[in-house]
Amino acid sequence: MLKKIIAIAILVVFVAISTASADQCINCHKAVTPGIVADYERSKMAENGVTCLDCHGEIEGHKDPSVKEHNGFRITPVPSPKYCERCHPQQVQEFLNSKHAWTALIGPFKPWYNKMVEEGKIKAGEAPSEDVMKENDPYKDIASRVTPLYPASGIMDKIGLLEEMKGYGSILYCMECHGTAVIVDENGNIVKGWPNSGIGRLNPDGTPGSCTACHTRHKFSIEEARSPETCGQCHLGPDHPQMEIYEESKHGNIFFSFENKSFLKAEKLTPENTPAPTCAVCHMSEFNGVKSTHDVGERLYWELQPKISTAQWYPSNLVPTGEAKPDEEKAKENRERMKQVCRGCHSPRWVDNYFTEFDAVVEDYNKIARSAKALLDKIYEEGLANKSNPIDEYPELSWYYIWHHDGRRWRMGAAMQGPDYAHWHGLFEAVGDKYLKLLNWYETAKRIKSLETQIGKEETKRSPFIGLPLLIAAIVIALTLKIKMRK
Ligand code: HEC
Ligand code: HEC
Ligand code: HEC
Ligand code: HEC
Ligand code: HEC
Ligand code: HEC
Ligand code: HEC
Ligand code: HEC
């Protein structure tokens, strides 16, 4: 009996303390950050009694160097997905299975990550701990890298400004989308990499990713997350223009022509209440019998971004080290899920025929890409370009454009009904512009080289006679000018 009374008394005190806590945050923050409190009060979670402390409060037994004393509480300013996991385990697990969570490591921090793995400081497939990030500054590493992923650094090297360009690697470029590495000092104050809501952010507690990338705090709204603009923040521009493609597609057209988009607020999206699919409908939402997912790869057959397209790579956390492998079986299941989404609004034949055409485009792209790569290899073999710096010569830059810009637009335009991107910004630019110029460059360079060899021979044979070398030099200059004009 006594035990029971004590237990109840403890519970009452606990509840009193916890509500008092929540009220304390709100009361004070109404004055300090009124915008945050207003958003929070409009959120579904506030409606359901989730408090500031539920997300910001220290998790028992979980090491997080960003947790610090704050007006009598122990809180973190950067609740990682780990802080959401207690209540949303499924969403967090799916998100961690996706490339979204790992994209800081797949993107800007890849060379640094691979170096850390090589040196045994991180196990392949694990996110770096705060200690590793603090002891091996990932930002410093980026500024000195020369890889095709950092075209600027290859070019900067050639210009001779690589050392001076310390700003490259700044958090305002790649990391705005891919995510920063968040570094804290010994007092738990964040000194670098925050604010940032890049989707694969490396958090101080060693959990990768940022839910805030699509659910901005403190509304954490699904309406916002379902809007194409949310994805379009990162999915746009010359190398992955999904937003522009969507805008020119019939689906985007229908979506943007509706003034009332309140269907995005629906508890569940269905073929009946959805006039046109948004990015989320095709890639994430529960729809037409397909379960909802926070793994955006779960409905994709192809990898449309690499040099050569293959079936989707698995697992995502091994993409940074190159150990992930295409998985045909899984990719086929993904395709079936995507088709089932389409079939909510289209007939099966419409859907099958569409994907037959799309797959053929990807295969055609692959043929062109292999052929262009073979030409680059021939250029290297014949000594017309130097492999040492992978992206500082004309043929190398052409190849980069062919796969990384034009080739992506070409494939993605075909995937999502953007014919202008599939053809004019894609196929045409890749083949009609970059490939053709590369071929012309090769032929010209070969002729110049053979003329140079001939000059060399002539000179040793009859050096007093300068008429022929002069003539050849004139041809060389004329050819060089011609290349310039073509560029
Ligand atoms: C007595 C007033 C007060 C209370 C109570 C209070 N805060 Fe704050 N909070 C502040 C002020 C002032 C700042 C800005 C200065 C600073 O960072 O300390 C702040 C900053 C923050 C930050 C940003 C920290 C950073 O490093 O930038 C977070 C997150 C935060 N508060 C959350 C909370 C939570 C959660 C609670 C309740 C558990 C809470 N606060 C309670 C006054 C308060
Ligand atoms: C559902 C979880 C959740 C709840 C509830 C929540 N927060 Fe946050 N809060 C976050 C997340 C996530 C971030 C973003 C951290 C990041 O990724 O940068 C954040 C960021 C912040 C920041 C720093 C951001 C800035 O713009 O300065 C403050 C201050 C803050 N929260 C205060 C509060 C207060 C006060 C409450 C209660 C009224 C509250 N939070 C409730 C999850 C939550
Ligand atoms: C203490 C439990 C708890 C924590 C921690 C928590 N949530 Fe929630 N969340 C809820 C509840 C309860 C709901 C409302 C019920 C529902 O719709 O499932 C909800 C709903 C949501 C929704 C749907 C909102 C809508 O408009 O329908 C989103 C998005 C969300 N949470 C994101 C987050 C994120 C991101 C974090 C971590 C930063 C987080 N939650 C942390 C309990 C929590
Ligand atoms: C505007 C946002 C944005 C910026 C800035 C950005 N990226 Fe990306 N990046 C993306 C998106 C979105 C994708 C996904 C493309 C796709 O799969 O269609 C991507 C894809 C990639 C990939 C391919 C990943 C894979 O799975 O193969 C790499 C590598 C990459 N980015 C590196 C970088 C680097 C390095 C920088 C800076 C020099 C950078 N990105 C700048 C948004 C961005
Ligand atoms: C790429 C964007 C994106 C990111 C990142 C993201 N979400 Fe979501 N989230 C969505 C979309 C879109 C929906 C609505 C799904 C639907 O229509 O069924 C959603 C819905 C939710 C819901 C409501 C229940 C459900 O599953 O539909 C919760 C809870 C949630 N997200 C939590 C999280 C948490 C926790 C994280 C971080 C681990 C996160 N989200 C990261 C886009 C995102
Ligand atoms: C903050 C930036 C950001 C936002 C917001 C964002 N993404 Fe991404 N997304 C990326 C980056 C970066 C990648 C590249 C991941 C990689 O391969 O490294 C990516 C990759 C993807 C992929 C390819 C995944 C794969 O397995 O190949 C899909 C599909 C995708 N995103 C869909 C979405 C959708 C749908 C939304 C909105 C609901 C969204 N994204 C919001 C940055 C973002
Ligand atoms: C009508 C459905 C639909 C809509 C709407 C849609 N997509 Fe897609 N998306 C697809 C299909 C189909 C593919 C190719 C799937 C495959 O590989 O089998 C794809 C592929 C992708 C990829 C993968 C590219 C890669 O590198 O592998 C990304 C990223 C992506 N979409 C993002 C978006 C974004 C962002 C939006 C909104 C601006 C969007 N999608 C709108 C159906 C859609
Ligand atoms: C929410 C309903 C919905 C979903 C889901 C949907 N569509 Fe559509 N789609 C439409 C509507 C409505 C149209 C306009 C039909 C018309 O022209 O009358 C359309 C048009 C099209 C067109 C014709 C484009 C043109 O310019 O002629 C294609 C192709 C298409 N959809 C393919 C797909 C594919 C592939 C998927 C799945 C990846 C898909 N759709 C998913 C509603 C949807």
Q: What's the pLDDT at 16?
A: 42
The rounded Å distance from CA 122 to ligand 2 centre is 30
Q: What's the pLDDT at 466?
A: 56
φ/ψ bin of 120: left (φ > 0), alpha (ψ from -120 to 50), beta (otherwise) = left
Q: Which helix (H) or strand (E) holds 192?
A: strand 190-192
**CB of 177 closer than 6 angstroms to any ligand 6 atom:** yes
Sequence-ordered strand ranges (E) for 328-487: none
Quote the tokens at residue 307.
Answer: 């040099």
Residue whose CA lies nearest to ligand 8 atom number 34: 342
Quote the tokens at residue 273.
Answer: 């209440």
Quote the tokens at residue 179.
Answer: 């995510």
In a structure prediction context, what are the per-residue pLDDT tens digits for the chain, which is 487 residues long? 455 555 444 433 444 444 556 789 999 999 999 999 999 999 999 999 999 999 999 999 999 999 999 999 999 999 999 999 999 999 999 999 999 999 999 998 998 999 999 999 999 999 999 999 999 999 877 755 545 445 455 677 777 777 776 665 578 888 999 999 999 999 999 999 999 999 999 999 999 999 999 999 999 999 999 999 999 999 999 999 999 999 999 999 999 998 889 999 999 999 999 999 999 999 999 999 999 999 999 999 999 999 999 999 999 999 999 999 999 999 999 999 999 999 999 999 999 999 999 999 999 999 999 999 999 999 999 999 998 877 889 999 999 999 999 999 999 999 999 999 999 999 999 999 999 999 999 999 999 999 999 998 877 776 555 556 656 766 777 677 566 555 4
Q: What's the pLDDT at 242?
A: 98
Residue whose CA lies nearest to ligand 8 atom number 16: 250
CB atoms within 10 A of CB 94: 21
Q: What's the pLDDT at 468?
A: 62
**CB of 71 closer than 6 angstroms to any ligand 1 atom:** yes
**CB of 410 closer than 6 angstroms to any ligand 7 atom:** no
Q: What's the pLDDT at 486?
A: 53
Verdict on whether the full-model pTM lies above 0.85: yes
The one-letter code for the residue type at 417 is: Q
Q: What's the pLDDT at 259?
A: 81
What Cα–Cα distance (Å) separates residue 481 from each residue in 384, 398, 433, 441? 18, 19, 18, 12
Class of domain 222-434: mainly alpha
Quote the tokens at residue 455.
Answer: 């000059």
C-alpha torsion sign, points 141, 322, 430, 351 = negative
Ligand 5 pocket: which of 100, 215, 242, 341 to mutate (most atoms <8 Å of CB)?
A: 215
The rounded Å distance from CA 240 to ligand 4 centre is 8
Query: Tokens 């999502």 map to which residue?
Result: 416
Q: At residue 322, what are phi and psi to the nearest 5 degrees?
A: 80, 10
The answer to whether the beta carbons of residues 353 and 410 sit under 8 Å apart is: no
Q: What's the pLDDT at 12?
A: 38
- Residues with Cβ within 8 Å of residue 21, at least 6 apart in sequence: 51, 53, 73
Query: Among the residues of 222-347, which ranges form H helices?
Result: 222-226, 228-232, 242-248, 250-257, 279-283, 328-342
Distance CA 219, CA 475 (A): 68
The rounded Å distance from CA 250 to ligand 8 centre is 7
Distance CA 31, CA 47 (A): 21
What percent helix, strand, coil does the chain show, rounded to 5?
55, 5, 40
What Cα–Cα distance (Å) separates residue 161 from each residue in 153, 157, 246? 9, 6, 39
Distance CA 415, CA 362 (A): 9
The ligand with the least distance to the CA atom of 108 is 4
Of the candidates 288, 283, 256, the one whose C-alpha atom is nearest the C-alpha of residue 272 is 288
- Would you list the domain boundaries of the chain? 89-213, 222-434, 435-486
Distance CA 221, CA 214 (A): 9
**CB of 303 closer than 6 angstroms to any ligand 7 atom:** yes
